Amino acid sequence: MLKVIKPGFFSTIQDRGRQGYQQFGVIVSGAMDSIAYRLGNALLQQQNAAALEMTCVGGTFLFTQPTTIVLTGGHMQATIHGKAIPMYQSILIQAGDILCCGAILQGTRSYLCIRGGFTVPVVMNSRSTYLRAGIGGFEGRALQVGDCIPYIKTPPIKQPLHLLPHTFYKDGPIRIVHGTEWDRIGHAMQTAFSTNRFTISLASDRMGYRLLPQQPIHVTEPFSLLSEAVTFGTIQLPPNGEPILLMADHQTTGGYPKIAQVIYADLHRLAQLAPMQTCQFKLISLAHAEQLDEQLERKLRLLEQLLIY
Amino acid sequence: MLHPTIKPLSERALLISFGETISEETHHVIQQTVALIQAQNLAGIEVTSSYTSICVYYEPLLLKKLVAPFFGQTTSQKLAAYFELVLQQLTTKAATTGRVIDIPVRYGGEWGPDLDEVARYHKMTPDEVIALHAAGDYFVYMLGFAPGFPFLGGLAPQIATPRRETPRLQIAAGSVGIAGAQTGIYPLATPGGWQIIGRTETKLFLPEQHPPTLLNAGDRVRFVAVKEEEGC
Residue B180 has pLDDT above 90, yes or no: no
- Tell me which chain A residues have a C-beta less than 8 angstroms from the C-beta of B46: 19-20, 22-23
Residue A24 has pLDDT above 80, yes or no: yes
- Adjacent-strand bridge partners of B104: B224
> First and final CA of chain A: distance in angstroms?
27
Nearest to A124 by CA among A208, A25, A31: A25
Residue B147: which of A25, A233, A264 has the nearest Cβ? Answer: A25
Residue A21: which of B8, B149, B212 has the nearest Cβ? Answer: B212
CB distance B182 to B157 below 8 Å: no
Check CB contact under 8 Å for A264 and B11.
yes
Q: Identify the pLDDT of residue A155.
A: 85
- Which pLDDT tens digit goes with each residue over B57-93? 999 999 999 999 999 999 999 999 999 999 998 887 7
- Tell me which chain A residues have a C-beta less than 8 angstroms from the C-beta of B13: 229, 231
Check CB contact under 8 Å for B50 and A234.
no
Q: Identify the pLDDT of residue B142.
A: 94
Provide the mean pLDDT of chain B.
92
Q: Does A297 touch chain B (CB under 8 A)?
A: yes
Per residue, the 3-state secondary structure of B100-168, as one string, reads EEEEEEEECCCCCCCHHHHHHHCCCCHHHHHHHHHHCCEEEEEECCCCCCEEEECCCHHHCECCCCCCE
Residue A278 has pLDDT above 70, yes or no: yes
Residue A133: which of B7, B76, B205 has the nearest Cβ? Answer: B205
Return the residue of B nearest to A26 by Cα. B147
Q: Identify the pLDDT of residue A190.
A: 95
Q: Identify the pLDDT of residue B33.
A: 95
Query: Which of A141, A252, A292, A305 best tests the B interface by mutation, with the highest count of B CBs <10 A?
Result: A252
Q: What is the largest CA-CA distance in chain A?
A: 63
Q: Does B75 touch chain A (CB under 8 A)?
A: yes
DSSP state, residue B52: S
Residue B2 has pLDDT above 90, yes or no: no
Nearest to A296 by CA among A163, A143, A133, A167: A167
Report how far apart, in Å, the C-alpha atoms of A304 and of each of A132, A294, A307 are: 32, 15, 5
CB distance A262 to A292 below 8 Å: no
Residue spans of alpha helices (H) in chain A: 34-43, 186-194, 267-271, 286-308
Range A274-282 average pLDDT: 96
Range A272-283 average pLDDT: 96
Please, which pLDDT band fits residue B130 given cuts at 50, 70 and 90?
A: very high
Return the residue of A nearest to B209 by Cα. A124
Q: Identify the pLDDT of residue B232.
A: 54
Q: Identify the pLDDT of residue A159.
A: 80
What is the SS3 assignment for B55? strand
| Interface predicted TM-score (ipTM) | 0.96
DSSP A10-68: S-EEE-S---S-GGGT------SSHHHHHHHHHHTT-SS--EEEEESB--EEEESS-EE
Q: Does B148 touch chain A (CB under 8 A)?
A: yes
What is the SS3 assignment for A182? helix
- Tell me which chain A residues have a C-beta less than 8 angstroms from the C-beta of B148: 24-25
Per residue, the 3-state secondary structure of A3-24, as one string, reads EEEECCCCCEEECCCCCCCHHH
Provide the mean pLDDT of chain A.
95
CB distance A126 to A28 below 8 Å: no
- Which pLDDT tens digit goes with each residue over A214-235? 999 999 888 888 889 999 999 9
CB distance A59 to A4 below 8 Å: yes
Q: Identify the pLDDT of residue B230.
A: 59
CB distance A309 to A201 below 8 Å: no
Residues 254-283 of A with CB under 8 A from B: 258, 261, 263-264
Give the lowest-confidence range in A274-288, B79-93, B113-127: B79-93
Give the lowest-confidence range in A3-12, B46-55, B98-107, B190-199: B190-199
Question: A208-213 and A228-229 as β-strands: parallel, antiparallel, unpaired?
Answer: unpaired
Give the lowest-confidence range in A35-44, A91-100, B223-232: B223-232
When comparing pLDDT for B84 and B3, which is higher? B84
Q: What is the least distance, in Å, from the CA of A117 to any CA of chain B?
A: 22
CB distance B159 to B107 below 8 Å: no
Report how far apart, in Å, the C-alpha atoms of A295 and of each of A48, A66, A269, A272, A299 are: 21, 37, 16, 21, 6
What is the SS3 assignment for A127? coil
Q: Does B16 touch chain A (CB under 8 A)?
A: no
Q: What is the least distance, in Å, from the CA of B174 to any CA of chain A?
A: 13
Nearest to B152 by CA among B101, B188, B201, B111: B101
Residues 14-53 of A with CB under 8 A from B: 19-27
Q: Does A182 touch chain B (CB under 8 A)?
A: no
Under 8 Å CB pairs connecting chains A and B tally to 126
Handedness of CA A227, B172, A208, A15 (dihedral sign): negative
Return the residue of A nearest to B146 by Cα. A25
Check CB contact under 8 Å for B57 and A231.
yes
Check CB contact under 8 Å for B48 and A252.
yes
Gyration radius from chain A CA atoms = 20
Distance CA A279, CA A284 (A): 16
Q: Identify the pLDDT of residue A22.
A: 97
Distance CA B95, CA A15 (A): 39
CB distance A46 to A99 below 8 Å: no
Please, which pLDDT band fits residue A63 given cuts at 50, 70 and 90?
A: very high
Give the whole-number percent of chain B exceeding pLDDT 90.
80
- Which pLDDT tens digit goes with each residue over A131-144? 999 999 999 999 99
- Which pLDDT tens digit goes with each residue over A140-174? 999 999 999 999 998 888 788 899 998 999 999 99
Nearest to B9 by CA among A189, A259, A249, A279: A259
DSSP state, residue B2: P
Please, which pLDDT band fits residue B228 given cuts at 50, 70 and 90?
A: low
DSSP B66-89: HHTTS--SSHHHHHHHHHHHHHTT
- Which pLDDT tens digit goes with each residue over B146-160? 999 999 999 999 999
- Tell me which chain B residues have a C-beta less than 8 angstroms from the C-beta of A177: 8, 10-11
